[in-house]
Every structure is written in C-alpha cells, then in structure tokens.
Structure 1
C-alpha cells in the first residue's frame, strides 16, 4: 500500500472537474488574506463564490460600506493574483455571526460555557499556507486543550475543567444521569 501526503491527495481531488468551484473559492480565500491588511482581515471573511462574484461577510455595516468604496481596487489586486476573473465583490453582514470561530471581537462571553476548552481568540485567523502548517496548528490546539483537561471522578475520562466545576463530573456522566432520571 502506497501512502500519499494530504497535500497530494487534496490536489488530486481539487483537480477533478466537479471540484472546480471549491478550488476557486479556496484560492480566493487565500488570496483575500494576502491582498487585505490585518485589520480588514479581522473584520471580513469570504463566504462564497457565485457567478464570478465573491461574497464577503463583514463584522458591521460600516465595514461593508467602507470596503464597497474600495471594491474596484480590491478586484484589481485579486485578479492579478489568481488564474481566473472575479467580476465583483459583495460585502454584507448577513453571515458574519453564523461561524463565530473567526470573529475575534465578540462582546458575549462564550468562554463561560462549561465545555469550552480553549478560547476562540487563540485560533489563527489566516488560513494555513500548506498542509504541514495546518497540521502543526492542529497539534498546538490539541496541546492547549490537554492543559485545560481534568479527570472526571465518576468515569475517569479527561474533560474540560468547567464541566467539573458546574456539575461535579463530565458532560457524558451528566447526560447519563439526566437520561436515567427521565
């Protein structure tokens, strides 16, 4: 049995005709973070590509309006870096809060949930350059999670510390107890 790197496998998959749209979107996402500065990258996220229009979620309507004024120059910068053409950019706040993993400026305190393992603010905003970087980022996240784990006194499984503080045992044991009572 021959083993192939993830990078080679992804390239084989993305080269197939039915994956063309996803390949273009992936390429545009990487390009977007190279074209815009760090401040804009924190407040925007490419969400889809449809009919040569890149749709970008923004953190607020003021960001959408500001970037809409820069639309033409951004299109030129993007088209210089990719092998296909983007005709337009559409900025809106609509899908910004549907995926909070990249939103670093949240005002709510979601870290207070008992099952929270690591804060979203410690995640890397920019997409990885290659599979090795993605794997290394994943390893770093797992190491950070391990530091926050404690052992459940009931089942001896590692779990987030917040679960023990809230229920006295892990969420799995809590679920078993509540389902047994019903």
Structure 2
C-alpha cells in the first residue's frame, strides 16, 4: 500500500513538472519550434518530446543539451531527453480535421449515400459500404 502511494506521489510530481514545461514551452524552445513539438511525459527523470518533422527532430537532438540546461533553469532536473517522431502533433500548415466532419462524410452514412441492395443477404445498405467491401456491414462482420 505504501509503495502505491509513493508511486502516485511521484507521478503527480512528474505531472506537475510536465504542466510547468507546457506553460513555458514557447519560452524554452522559441515560437516556431514550440509549434512543431511538444513535451509528452516525464518518467524516471527522462523527458519525452514528440516532434512532427524530421528536420525539427534533428535540430532538437543536436541542441538537447541546451534545452536540458534551459529546463533546469525552471527548477526541473532531468537525466535525459528523448525525442520521438510523432505525426499527430498539429502543424500550422495542415488543415485540422474535425471528427464530426469525418463522420458526416463516412461511406456508411445513409444521408450522404444512396441505398443499394447487398448481393449476399439482399438487405438495404449504403452504397459506400458495398463499394468499399463488396457487401454490407453485417455480411462483412460475419466473415471477419
């Protein structure tokens, strides 16, 4: 029980440090770089940073000793910084994809697609399903 509580306290401290980093990320990395990367987590005194571009990743790897010194200026002492490629970090150049828009335009949506008859079970199905799988969702699920 005591070990669980100690682990929880440590993870809470790491989360507090990560929050502090996020608040000051632009100051630490500069405006352009702050938009291309973000701190993901701190674990065992190792900061994991996600970068959306190989060139920015290389620049961070080359200068991570300076970044580590800057971070220690905020009272956060790290043993290591790991930099990973992560394409999910939003970039200003990319159009942001809205989940609602994706769902509205999904091939299985009836309102955007004509209904056709499945050749296997003779049930009505959206045309998008038939064109995608050659059968309706129910027939597809039976075989997968």
TM-score bucket (shorter structure): 0.5 to 0.7
Any gaps of 5 or more consecutive residues in structure 1? Answer: 1-15, 118-159, 170-177
| Equivalent residues, number | 106
Among 46, 51, 62, the residue aligned to 1:69: 62
The aligned residue for residue 115 of structure 1 is: 100
2:72 is aligned with 1:87: no
* Structure with more of its chain in helix, by fraction: 1
Aligned match of 2:31: 38
Q: For residue 49 of structure 2, what is the aligned residue in structure 1?
A: 56
Alpha-carbon distance in structure 2 between the residues aligned to 1:21 and 1:31: 15
Q: Partners of 1:80 and 1:114 in 2: how far apart?
A: 39
TM-score by length of 2: 0.56
**Contact 1:46–1:56 under 8 Å retained in 2:** yes
State the TM-score, normalized to the length of structure 1. Answer: 0.46
More strand by share: 2
How far apart, in 1, do the equivalents of 2:12 and 2:70 lie? 25
Unaligned runs of 5+ in 2: 1-7, 113-124, 126-137, 139-144
Residue 26 to residue 110, structure 1, CA distance change in 2 (3 Å): closer
Kindly tell me: are residues 114 and 74 of structure 1, through their superposed partners in 2, closer, same or farther at Cα, counting changes over 3 Å? closer
Superposition CA RMSD, Å: 3.3
Q: Distance in 2 between matches of 1:62 and 1:31?
A: 22
> Deviation at 1:57?
0.8
